[in-house]
């Protein structure tokens, strides 16, 4: 037993630290504003001018063109132009300022809006990376493993969506397996399928099996990320899902994904006017389809290397853009969806954490309400990293604690401890320290704070190597939240029926 412990310590393994966390972050600090009233008005006016003069295109979806025509918009071919102020007025008339997304475990339901922040894991990568097997195409086995790993991280609040793309499954059916894994292995809220009306319908069907038809009709239990094809285009894959979720009263976040210099102007002010214009048009669509549908303004704006054309993250301009997005969303009166620990690094090294820390901190200071990709993102979103997930998780936990704000209770003031200890003495043995040492300070899992000699004796491991042992010990400690066998069977039957309806396809 002692040997096992010693061996584990040598390879950097540690038992997961048991620290509990609320179901979402309640921010008692910030948000930080970057734009003056004048600056905000300027960007809002520019967004209105873009919508009026250039407009936005909705491809391959005639129903949408008719919806906008009926609402009095100027529709020519697939181009829709909006009278100045129309979108803002339409959204503000009916969109809720905040709402809950419910989890099957009611203690894990999350609030979207106000000073609440919900942290979600990485979303979309076709590859995974860990130190043992390197970078490789993701499989459904990786998907399940990531869902379980995320469930063990107390600082995440949401099981997410495409935590990695399981490319070993048929492209036209894997959404069913992904939804099943979230429902089966996590008891947190999760995202619906986001490509096309049909798959969105499947997600709603499965949610009805879990929550009951009436509950789903009256409560948000899913979440859809609906990207534009910037600049100023939405295609029917996205608009189909958007309409389906909006009609079902399920939350939709529009997330114009732009890299300034490529899909938007190479300036912050120009990019944010375009992002706002795209968000306004899409949120207007959601409100026209179902007035009162829960929506979030999304902003996923970063930059491009002007030398190589490569996507870049954790940049000054990306930080400025998310702070501006926070202000624009608050003035619009809807929650903000944005992004977290983005990095272009291929591995969980120094670059990955300088960029990740920058990105997640900026989003938190922006007052974001849901932060996608709060853990695990590498290589510009092509990779979910297992070690990176654990290192980012510490950051999520630190920010959660930080945003609680400063405790000003009599115990926290510690005036007796200072009087008792006196000049030149230490506080290690003071009554106050003894009474508070278990909870006083947050304990991240990946840092090594030991002396150089201790660190060397333990194998001179870097953070990634320690995180490698850590995600394994987290998985060992994973607790199955369980699922009612009747619901489980109904879900599996449903999936079997849907899969039988069409041949497998290797493309979307």
Residue 411 engages a second copy in binding (rule: CB under 8 A): yes
Would you say 508 and 172 are in contact if contact means Cβ atoms under 8 Å apart?
yes
Residue with tokens 């919806």, as numbered in its chain: 67
Enumerate the H helices of 50-196 as residue ranges. 62-70, 86-94, 140-151, 174-185
Residue 299 engages a second copy in binding (rule: CB under 8 A): no
Residues 6+ apart with CB under 8 A from 130: 385, 386, 387, 468, 471
Residue 417 engages a second copy in binding (rule: CB under 8 A): yes
Minimum distance from residue 466 beta carbon to a second copy (Å): 8
Q: Which is nearer to a second copy, 124 or 249 (CB)?
A: 124
Q: Strands 370-372, 336-339: parallel, antiparallel or unpaired by DSSP?
A: parallel
Would you say 289 and 245 are in contact if contact means Cβ atoms under 8 Å apart?
no
Which residues, 134 to 163, sit near a second copy by CB under 8 A? 135
Query: Cα(13)–Cα(390) distance, rounded to whole angstroms?
Result: 13
- Per-residue binding string, a second copy, 252-271, x by CB under 8 A, is --------xxxxxxxxxxx-
Q: Report the residue from 85, 291, 316, 459 that binds a second copy according to the rule CB under 8 A.
A: 316
Q: Which is nearer to a second copy, 269 or 487 (CB)?
A: 269
Q: Report the residue from 100, 304, 328, 469 that binds a second copy according to the rule CB under 8 A.
A: 304
Q: Which is nearer to a second copy, 4 or 307 (CB)?
A: 307
Q: Which is nearer to a second copy, 205 or 349 (CB)?
A: 349
Which residues, 202 to 241, sit near a second copy by CB under 8 A? 229, 231-233
Radius of gyration of the chain, Cα coordinates, nearest whole angstrom: 24
Would you say 296 and 337 are in contact if contact means Cβ atoms under 8 Å apart?
yes
Residue 20 engages a second copy in binding (rule: CB under 8 A): no
Which residues, 447 to 466, sit near a second copy by CB under 8 A? 447-452, 455, 460, 462-464
Q: Report the residue from 244, 303, 363, 369 that binds a second copy according to the rule CB under 8 A.
A: 303
CA dihedral of 67, 68, 74, 79, whole degrees rounded to 10: -100
Query: Cα(85)–Cα(141) distance, rounded to whole angstroms?
Result: 48
Residue 379 engages a second copy in binding (rule: CB under 8 A): yes
Q: How big, in percent rounded to 5, are the helix, strand and coil portions of the chain?
A: 45, 15, 40
Shortest CA distance to 108 belongs to which of 172, 227, 188, 32? 188
Q: Which is nearer to a second copy, 402 or 478 (CB)?
A: 402
Q: Which stretch binds a second copy (CB under 8 A): 47-55, 168-176, 200-208, 238-246?
A: 47-55
Residue 347 engages a second copy in binding (rule: CB under 8 A): yes
Residue 167 engages a second copy in binding (rule: CB under 8 A): no
Minimum distance from residue 407 beta carbon to a second copy (Å): 6
- Here the tokens at position 130 are 């860990």
Residue 393 engages a second copy in binding (rule: CB under 8 A): no
Q: Which is nearer to a second copy, 56 or 336 (CB)?
A: 56
Residue 6 engages a second copy in binding (rule: CB under 8 A): no
Q: Which is nearer to a second copy, 170 or 270 (CB)?
A: 270
Minimum distance from residue 180 beta carbon to a second copy (Å): 30
Residue with tokens 């061996």, as numbered in its chain: 7
Residue 446 engages a second copy in binding (rule: CB under 8 A): yes
Q: Report the residue from 1, 406, 486, 500 that binds a second copy according to the rule CB under 8 A.
A: 406
Minimum distance from residue 11 beta carbon to a second copy (Å): 17
Q: Which is nearer to a second copy, 101 or 284 (CB)?
A: 284
Residue with tokens 């399981």, as numbered in its chain: 166
Would you say 371 and 338 are in contact if contact means Cβ atoms under 8 Å apart?
yes
Q: Report the residue from 306, 457, 477, 502 that binds a second copy according to the rule CB under 8 A.
A: 306
Q: Is 56 helix (H, G, I), strand (E, B) or coil?
A: strand
Would you say 335 and 112 are in contact if contact means Cβ atoms under 8 Å apart?
yes
Residue 315 engages a second copy in binding (rule: CB under 8 A): yes
How many residues of this chain interact with a second copy, rule: CB under 8 A? 124
Minimum distance from residue 172 beta carbon to a second copy (Å): 25
Query: Cα(98)–Cα(217) distance, rounded to whole angstroms?
Result: 18
Q: Which residues pair with 323 in a beta bridge?
A: none
- Here the tokens at position 454 are 């201790």
Would you say 73 and 80 are in contact if contact means Cβ atoms under 8 Å apart?
yes
């Amino acid at each position: 037993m002692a040997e096992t412990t010693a061996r584990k310590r040598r390879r950097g393994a540690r038992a997961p630290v048991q620290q509990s966390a609320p179901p979402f972050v309640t921010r008692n600090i910030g948000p930080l504003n970057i734009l003056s009233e004048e600056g905000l008005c300027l960007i809002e006016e520019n967004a209105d001018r873009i919508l009026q003069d250039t407009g936005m295109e909705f491809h391959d979806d005639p129903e949408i063109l008719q919806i906008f025509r009926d609402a009095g918009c100027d529709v020519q071919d697939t181009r829709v132009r909006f009278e100045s102020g129309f979108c803002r007025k339409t959204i503000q008339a009916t969109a809720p300022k905040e709402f809950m997304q419910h989890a099957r475990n009611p203690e894990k339901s999350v609030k979207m809006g106000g000073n609440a922040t919900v942290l979600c894991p990485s979303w979309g990568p076709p590859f995974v990376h860990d130190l043992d097997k390197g970078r490789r195409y993701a499989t459904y086995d990786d998907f399940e493993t990531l869902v379980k790993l995320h469930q063990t991280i107390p600082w995440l609040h949401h099981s997410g969506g495409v935590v990695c793309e399981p490319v070993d499954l048929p492209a036209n059916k894997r959404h069913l397996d992904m939804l099943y894994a979230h429902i089966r292995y996590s008891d947190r809220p999760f995202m619906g399928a986001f490509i096309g009306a049909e798959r969105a319908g499947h997600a709603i069907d499965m949610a009805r099996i879990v929550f009951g038809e009436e509950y789903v009709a009256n409560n948000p239990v899913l979440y859809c990320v609906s990207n534009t094809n910037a600049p100023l285009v939405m295609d029917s894959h996205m608009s189909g899902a958007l309409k389906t979720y909006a009609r079902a009263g399920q939350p939709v976040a529009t997330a114009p994904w732009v890299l300034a210099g490529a899909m938007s102007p190479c300036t912050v002010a120009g990019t944010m006017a375009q992002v706002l214009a795209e968000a306004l048009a899409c949120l207007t669509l959601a409100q026209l389809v179902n007035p009162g549908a829960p929506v979030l303004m999304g902003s996923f704006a970063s930059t491009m290397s002007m030398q190589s054309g490569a996507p870049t993250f954790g940049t000054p301009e990306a930080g400025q853009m998310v702070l501006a997005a926070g202000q624009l969303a608050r003035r619009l009166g809807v929650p903000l969806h944005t992004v977290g620990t983005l990095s272009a690094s291929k591995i969980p090294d120094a670059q990955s954490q300088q960029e990740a820390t920058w990105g997640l901190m900026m989003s938190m200071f922006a007052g974001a309400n849901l932060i996608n990709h709060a853990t695990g993102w590498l290589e510009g979103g092509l990779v979910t990293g297992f070690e990176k997930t654990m290192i980012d998780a510490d950051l999520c936990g630190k920010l959660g604690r930080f945003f609680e704000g400063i405790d000003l209770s009599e115990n926290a003031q510690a005036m007796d401890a200072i009087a008792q200890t006196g000049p030149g003495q230490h506080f290690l043995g003071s009554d106050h320290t003894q009474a508070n040492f278990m909870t006083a300070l947050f304990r991240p899992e990946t840092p090594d704070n030991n002396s150089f000699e201790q660190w060397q004796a333990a194998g001179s491991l870097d953070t990634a190597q320690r995180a490698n042992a850590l995600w394994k010990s987290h998985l060992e400690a994973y607790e199955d939240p369980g699922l009612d066998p009747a619901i489980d069977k109904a879900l599996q039957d449903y999936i079997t029926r849907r899969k039988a309806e069409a041949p497998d396809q290797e493309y979307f």
